[in-house]
Structure 1
Amino acid sequence: MSVKVKICGLSRPEDVAAVAGAGAAYAGFVFFARSPRNLTLDDARALALEAPVGLAKVALTVDADDMLLDRITEAVPLDMLQLHGSESPGRVAEIKARYGLPVMKAVGVAGQEDLTALAGYEEVADQILVDAKPLKGAALPGGNGLAFDWRLIAGRKWARPWMLAGGLTPGNVAEAVRLTGARQVDVSSGVERAPGVKDAGLIRAFVEAARCG
């Protein structure tokens, strides 16, 4: 079975073209003011309209209220919402019902104790994004280039489709796939040449390496 790749934090038309050309399955757009990858609604709409049919467009938000989500979903043609904050399972269910879009919930993992949160979200989210838990005081909830101990989830049985994230690069993604059994992977900073600036060569290398896992 082929590994699906999500490239998150796209900010330029050439990024969308590189992601599509490399054969990735998902393109991620960030709506979080503190991120170097944050987009305006107009820029996000323009990028989403560049995406070819078959490339799923994902909006990443962090503890967004309904007003912001209304604005995003009204302005940008999307295929999925990614919730990357401290949203409760109840909030995930509310958002899924309100917008009628598939919802992916990110869960940060640093140790065994963090895995207990996964079960509650598997009951309400369409997909789970298993990410490295940010360090205390970190400005960003993701995209920090951090990995967690992948052995924590090796052999785990999942109730929903899931995606592995956190510190992945073209150099380690194949190992991560082999160790965890992930059939989907997500990357942002690992394919950048500067914060928020994607590198087409690294994107191609990442997608190729993921498929060799």
Structure 2
Amino acid sequence: MPVRVKICGIRDEAGLDAACAAGADWVGFVFFGRSPRHVTAEVAGRLTHAVSINGPRRIGLFVRPTDDEIRHVLDHAWLDGLQIYDEAPRAMAIREQFGLPVWLATGVARRADLPATCGVDAMVIESRAPAGSDRPGGNARAFDWTLTERWRAPAPWLLAGGLTPDNVRTAIGQSGARAVDVSSGVESAPGVKSPELIHAFVRAARTPL
């Protein structure tokens, strides 16, 4: 089965069109004001409704959100799942409240950080945020990909953090990941998606090792 790909941080039609044309499995929309990839619920609404029924699934990324914040986005945008940066019990509560699949993002620095259990639908495994960062993810930092090699993951997971078209095949080979999540690695400037890099990333991720 080909490696699955999520293009995160979509903010405009050019990035969305490129992700769809390249065959991405998911597109991500960031609802966190400190991120250069932040979109409003209204903009996300326009973009998510432009995705065809056979296109990529739409994932909304939230950082420690309130129920009202999620509800406001869902009033405008068509989302197929929620990627949550928060504690596991809160992610589970969000899943129960909104009835959508939930992915829990987890930062790791050593093998002991890898989750042994998962109460939601999937996990995003990335590097732990550096000290002093005002963002829990999206920091373009990779971790030691061999940490996840032969890991008995309790749920489906995506590898994220510091991935680019040039290193994604190596990351897949070393980590054993069957799904990858990229944002800054396919940008020409912070928050500006490059169609060329999106296509290159998807091709590289799906090139057999």
For Structure 1 versus Structure 2, the TM-score category normalised by the shorter chain is over 0.9
SS in 1 for 2:75: helix
Residue number in structure 2 paired with 1:146: 141
SS in 2 for 1:119: coil
Q: Which moved more, 1:134-143 or 1:100-109?
A: 134-143
Residue number in structure 1 paired with 2:181: 186
SS in 1 for 2:188: strand
Instruction: Say whether 1:156 aligns with 2:151.
Output: yes
Question: In structure 2, what residue type is equivalent to 1:160?
Answer: A
> Displacement of 1:164 after TM fit?
0.3
Distance 2:182 2:77 in 1: 22
Residue number in structure 1 paired with 2:52: 52
Question: In structure 1, what residue type is equivalent to 2:4?
Answer: K
Distance 2:87 2:139 in 1: 23
Unmatched 5+ stretches in structure 1: none
> Displacement of 1:112 after TM fit?
2.8
Deviating 4+ runs (over 6 angstroms) = none
One of 125, 130, 133 as aligned partner of 2:128: 133
SS in 1 for 2:116: helix
Instruction: Say whether 1:92 aligns with 2:87.
Output: no
SS in 1 for 2:112: helix
Q: TM-score, normalised by structure 2?
A: 0.96
Query: How many residue pairs align between the two structures?
Result: 207
One of 116, 121, 130 as aligned partner of 1:119: 116
> Displacement of 1:113 after TM fit?
3.4
Residue number in structure 2 paired with 1:69: 70
Question: In structure 1, what residue type is equivalent to 2:68?
Answer: M
- For 1:7-86, list aligned pairs within 5 A: 7-54=7-54, 55-84=56-85
Unmatched 5+ stretches in structure 2: none
Residue number in structure 2 paired with 1:210: 205
SS in 2 for 1:34: coil
Cα deviation 1:38-87 (Å, max 9, x = unaligned): 11111010010111223100000000011101111221111000002xx2
Question: In structure 1, what residue type is equivalent to 2:83?
Answer: Q
> Displacement of 1:141 after TM fit?
1.4
SS in 2 for 1:135: coil
Distance 1:9 1:191 in 2: 10
